[in-house]
Amino acid sequence: MQFFDLLRVALDTMVKSNSWQDRVIDVRVRTLSPEEALGNPEHQDYPLVKGRERMMEAELLGSRGQAFTDMYGNFSGTLGEVCSMGLENNFRRAVFLSTLNAVCRHLGLATRTVHCRDDQPPLCARELVKFVRDRHGSPRIALVGLQPRMVQLLGQEFALRVTDLDPENVGTKRFGVPIQRPEETAENIRWCELALVTGTTLTNDTVRELVTMKPTIFYGVTVAAAAHILELKRFCPYGS
């Protein structure tokens, strides 16, 4: 089964096991402003601030779940509608993933489903450097998805290659590290000893290409519930 088939089965099972299929459960998904999602960070080079991506947030019975996407909007419907909706584009996948995160958060199956804020992203990157060093030594790292603070600090400690989907980033250097085309990701995965992958690869449906025999850690809030369901390793120390 494909990743989203497994996630859909899991969500459908959770809905039915809680008898939610017999009552109308409203799911409201909305797009957050950069300030709502990130607060007021010192640095202004995050994708959320630059405007290419936005955070979508689902709220279910008081529990919140979020997902990054470059195709954003609002949605209101029932859990049954989310379970059965087609997932053919990034908007629909973001609705599904943010809702799945909210459901799993409500059931106590997932934590840190809401993005960290203000001064926490740099702290997250520092924690990541320590996390990698303590568990993996000094590996060659392929970073999939440009997270500026991670590039800045990982590049000081490890051999690092970075790929990103945003054409405005490709071909530039960040903190001395070239930002490569997404087509170079497969070669970087072969080269690396550790892959650090943004959870947004679920939203854009490129995740299947990135789950290999190489040690892989997914980072961020988008992948919160999926990491629990699919038993993926995840790093997100400061989400709430």
Predicted confidence (pLDDT) per residue in 78-136, tens digit: 888 899 999 999 999 999 999 999 999 999 999 999 998 878 888 999 999 999 999 99
Are 115 and 90 spatial neighbours (Cβ–Cβ below 8 Å)?
no
Rounded Cα distance, 40 and 155, in Å = 25
In whole angstroms, give the CA distance from residue 51 to residue 37. Answer: 12
DSSP state of 116: -
29-43, 194-208, 223-237: segment of lowest average pLDDT: 29-43
Q: How many CB atoms lie within 10 A of CB 30?
A: 16
pTM assigned to the model: 0.89
Q: What is the pLDDT of residues 174-194, one digit of tens each?
A: 999 999 999 999 999 999 999
